[in-house]
Amino acid sequence: MGALSARQYRQLLVIQELYRQQEEMYRRKTRRIEDRIVSISQPHVRPIVRGKVRANVEFGAKVAISVVNGYARLERLDWDSFHEGKTLQAAVEAYRERYGHYPEAVLADRAYRSRENLRYCKERGIRLSGPPLGRPSQTSRAEQARIERQDAAERNAIEGKFGEGKRLYGLGLIRAHLRATSETVIALQLLVMNLERRLRLLLSLVLAWLRNFPIPTALATS
């Protein structure tokens, strides 16, 4: 490395790769390239196209979580974009390892309803939310519509978790610099969210107990 410090040497390597990417895009007359570097100080950060109205492109880690009984678990964290549907089978197997059995149902959006995932769930007796393959009978359509409405209502919990994390715990405002530190902060924020839920449940139990056993306001003696 010579006169360069370890930090300066790493930055030099990043700058060399950044220059190579820019030159390749210029020669190919394109604006896309694999593992594109957008920050010299944080080369692990990737632009992820989300298609949102306010921000078509976001920068940061992409997270997939599952929610069981109100508790969130981190299923996958990656700095590159990935298809959410590919996390379903690993999440189900992780559920089986934790609880000793497969879940009765998996409530997920359309991105998870690939033929491979449908087959996987069917072989294990798991109901994957959404309409089954094939043409439903007239009598089953009403029942299926009712189940879909119920699944959608229950699935709002996982969307609410992301909103709760960003609104109350700063999940969308992480300022950690290093990759490992950022991943640790994300995991800790989910841990804090789960601890807060446990505390709320314990508090509700204590309040219910106090209502059933009121504290006396006077002391009688003889």
| Helix boundaries (H) for the chain | 6-28, 88-99, 115-123, 138-168, 179-212
| Helix boundaries (H) for 31-126 | 88-99, 115-123
Condensed to tens digits (0 to 9), the pLDDT of residues 85-113 reads 889 999 999 999 999 999 988 888 888 88
Angstrom distance (rounded) from CA 64 to CA 198: 22
For the chain, the first-to-last Cα distance in angstroms comes to 89
Q: What pLDDT is stored for residue 173 in this prediction?
A: 80
Angstrom distance (rounded) from CA 161 to CA 70: 9
Residue 12 CB neighbour total at 10 angstroms = 13
Amino acid in the structure at residue 106: V
Cross-strand pairs, 72: 67
Torsion 92-132-151-165 (CA) sign:
positive
Condensed to tens digits (0 to 9), the pLDDT of residues 7-66 reads 888 889 999 999 999 999 999 998 888 888 888 888 988 887 766 666 677 788 888 888
The yes-or-no verdict on residue 215 having pLDDT over 90 is no
Q: Is 106 helix (H, G, I), strand (E, B) or coil?
A: strand
The yes-or-no verdict on residue 183 having pLDDT over 80 is yes
- In CATH terms, 47-207 corresponds, of 3.30.420, 3.30.1360, 3.40.50, 3.90.1150, to 3.30.420
- Are the C-beta atoms of residues 74 and 190 closer than 8 Å to each other? yes
Condensed to tens digits (0 to 9), the pLDDT of residues 112-140 reads 888 899 999 999 999 888 766 656 555 56
Q: What pLDDT is stored for residue 69 in this prediction?
A: 85
Average pLDDT of span 77-92 = 88
Average pLDDT of span 132-149 = 64
Pull the structure tokens for residue 125: 């007796």
Q: What pLDDT is stored for residue 214 in this prediction?
A: 64
- Are the C-beta atoms of residues 34 and 24 closer than 8 Å to each other? no
Angstrom distance (rounded) from CA 107 to CA 104: 10
Domain ranges within the chain, ordered by starting residue: 47-207
Condensed to tens digits (0 to 9), the pLDDT of residues 151-182 reads 777 777 777 788 888 888 888 788 888 899 99
The yes-or-no verdict on residue 222 having pLDDT over 50 is no
Q: Mean pLDDT over all residues of the chain?
A: 83
Q: What pLDDT is stored for residue 194 in this prediction?
A: 92
Angstrom distance (rounded) from CA 137 to CA 38: 52
- Are the C-beta atoms of residues 107 and 155 closer than 8 Å to each other? yes
Q: Is 72 helix (H, G, I), strand (E, B) or coil?
A: strand
